[in-house]
Amino acid sequence: MIKVKKRKILLLPGDGIGPEVIQEVKKVIQWFNSNKSLDFEIDQDLAGGCSFDKHGAPITDEVFYKALECEVVMLGAVGGPKWDNLDFSKKPERALLKLRKELKLFANLRPAICFEQLVDASTLKPEIVSGLDIMIVRELTGGIYFGEPRGIKPIENGERKGVNTHTYTTSEIVRVAKVAFDLAKKRSNKVTSCEKSNVMEAGQLWREEVQELHDKEYKEVELSHMLADNCAMQLLKNPKQFDVIVTDNLFGDMLSDQASMLTGSLGLLPSASLGAKNKDGEMRAMYEPIHGSAPDIAGQGVANPIASILSFAMALRYSLDLDNEADTLEKAVQDVLNDGLRTKDIISEGMKEVSTSVMGDAIISKLQ
Ligand code: IPM
Ligand code: MG
């Protein structure tokens, strides 16, 4: 059993704009080390397409073991067109899926918050999104992403058949639902559980187990169930009806992308992938911006580092028990936005366009 080393942070910048945005996170961590006398130990390595190019695998065993012993993994982004035609097992995304699965990071927290300064960046009317603050809790290590059997096999008549399997067990549902209920208690006390119980047995089980857990342990939290397709519609119609949404791996993938665009700014949204606490209270966790590797703008110094920096704020809060420091960092981001600084993705009239590193520096200067 590999022990988790306290305060050890592994940076996995990955591909595309990943290295540029993680560089800014590194500066922020170094600032906390020098100015708050924190002793974060930083390591950095390859995962994704860059690892494939160097080692022929999206993540090497060595890097995987490093991730196992770190308290926090900060991931940038993986993937890009360069690796699109690789065999499934070699694709950059496998690094991500392996880390999620083997580190047992079953609860993926994806906040969708509409920053007041950017209300107009959403494609929805300001009154629909202003003040929006949703937390999507996506199950991350089960369901159709990992179910067996899976594969593509030849069948009769020269045809082929693609197979994936969607399964959930009671304990897989209960542990992620607990995370959602516990979060709701610290927010607006409302959980919406989404599945397709009208067509899928695994969805029916999901609904029953969430309800049973609620009735046993979380009666004080308001729980409602919603079919996932309806949830997709309601997110556009009246997103502010939601507080915490808990859902499976695949629906969570889609609903969180949809929710992110309500905020108008993919470049601002962080995420946390959390495991279970062990008996010593230690927990494995990985934090990453929800945006992808954006190969089209990579290397130009225009990427928005805010999502990554806010992912580190989540790490401060959820892994490192440094709520005050997390607040300070989040406030620094707000201050910089209030000053009118914008990266290219969120620029609007009258605002000042700045590069990735200038944005990082500006946030750090607000920490002083
Ligand atoms: C996400 C991404 C990943 C997923 C990909 C890159 C494998 O879309 O984190 O939402 O499908 O989970
Ligand atoms: Mg996705």
For the residues of 102-144, what is the DSSP string, one character each? HTT--EEEEEEE--GGGGGGSSS-HHHHTT-EEEEEEE-SSGG
Spatial CA neighbour of 78 closest among 104, 51, 56, 112: 51
State whether the beta carbon of 96 lies less than 6 angstroms from ligand 1.
Answer: yes
Residues 115 and 257 in one domain: yes
Same domain, 257 and 111: yes
Ligand 2 centroid to Cα of residue 112, in Å, is 14
* 318 lies in the same domain as 340: yes
Residues with a known catalytic role: 145, 196, 229, 253, 257
Closest atom of ligand 1 to 288 CA is: 9
The full DSSP string for 165-195 is E----HHHHHHHHHHHHHHHHTTTSEEEEEE
For 105-117, write each residue's pLDDT tens digit: 999 999 999 999 8
Residue 116 lies in a domain: yes
C-beta contacts of 252-255 below 8 A and 24+ residues apart: 252/108, 252/110, 252/136, 252/137, 252/138, 252/139, 252/140, 253/138, 255/136, 255/138, 255/194, 255/228, 255/231
Helix ranges (H only) for the chain are: 18-35, 49-55, 61-69, 93-102, 126-129, 170-185, 201-217, 228-237, 249-262, 306-318, 323-338, 356-367
Do both 75 and 212 map to the same domain? no
Beta bridge partners of 210: none
Asked whether residue 115 is assigned to any structural domain, the reply reads yes
Cβ atoms of residues 256 and 290 within 8 Å: yes
- Ligand closest to Cα of 99 equals 1
Show the low-confidence residues of the chain (pLDDT under 70): 1
Residue nearest ligand 1's atom 2 by CA: 253
Closest CA to 97 of 146, 53, 60: 146
Ligand 1 test: best mutation among 99, 109, 164, 253, most atoms within 8 Å of CB? 253
CA–centroid distance, residue 345 to ligand 1 (Å):
21
Q: Identify the pLDDT of residue 281.
A: 85
Residue numbers of the domain that contains 366: 1-106+275-368
Final residue in a domain of this structure, among 265, 292, 319: 265
Nearest CA to ligand 1 atom 12: 253
Judged by DSSP in three states, 276 sits in strand
135 with 11, same domain: the answer is no
Same domain, 298 and 337: yes
The verdict on residue 87 lying in a domain is: yes
Work out whether strand 5-14 and strand 70-77 pair parallel, antiparallel, or are unpaired: parallel
Ligand 1 atom at shortest distance from the alpha carbon of 140: 12
Cis peptide before 126 (omega within 30 of 0): no
In 227-260, which positions are buried (b, 16+ CB within 10 angstroms) versus exposed (e)?
A: bbeebbebbeeebeebbbbbbbbbbbbebbebbb
State which ligand 1 atom lies nearest to the alpha carbon of 78. 6
Q: Does residue 334 lie within any of the structural domains?
A: yes
How much distance in Å is there from the Cα of 219 to the middle of ligand 2?
A: 32
Among protein residues, the one whose CA lies closest to atom 11 of ligand 1: 253
Q: Cα(284)–Cα(276) distance, rounded to whole angstroms?
A: 7
Ligand 1 centroid distance, CA of 254 (Å) = 9
Inside any domain, residue 313: yes
Nearest to 263, CA basis, from 306, 321, 312: 306
Task: Please check whether residues 258 and 288 belong to one and the same domain.
Answer: no
Is the domain of 143 the same as that of 236? yes
Cβ of 248 less than 6 Å from ligand 1: no
Q: Which atom of ligand 1 is nearest to the CA of 96?
A: 7
Residues 222 and 135 in one domain: yes
Q: What is the CATH number of the domain that holds 323?
A: 3.40.718.10
Sign of the Cα pseudo-torsion (15, 19, 22, 24, in order): negative
CB 124 within 8 A of CB 236: yes
Write down which residue in 243, 265, 287 finishes a domain: 265
Would 344 be classed as within a structural domain?
yes
Residues 81 and 112 in one domain: no
- Domain boundary, last residue among 245, 265, 285: 265
How close is the Cα of 156 to the center of ligand 1, in Å? 33
Flag whether 270 is in a domain. Answer: no
Protein residue closest via CA to atom 10 of ligand 1:
253
Q: Is 337 helix (H, G, I), strand (E, B) or coil?
A: helix
Burial (CB count within 10 angstroms: exposed 0-12, middle 13-18, buried 19+), residue 44: middle
Q: How many CB atoms lie within 10 A of CB 271?
A: 24
Q: How far apart are CA 194 and CA 227, in angstroms?
A: 5
Q: How many domains does the chain have?
A: 2
State if residue 93 touches ligand 1 by the CB under 6 angstroms criterion: yes
Residues 313 and 347 placed together within one structural domain of the fold: yes
Positive or negative: CA dihedral 206, 212, 218, 223: positive
β-pairing verdict for 222-227 and 190-195 = parallel
Q: Is residue 183 part of a domain?
A: yes
Residues 362 and 299 in one domain: yes
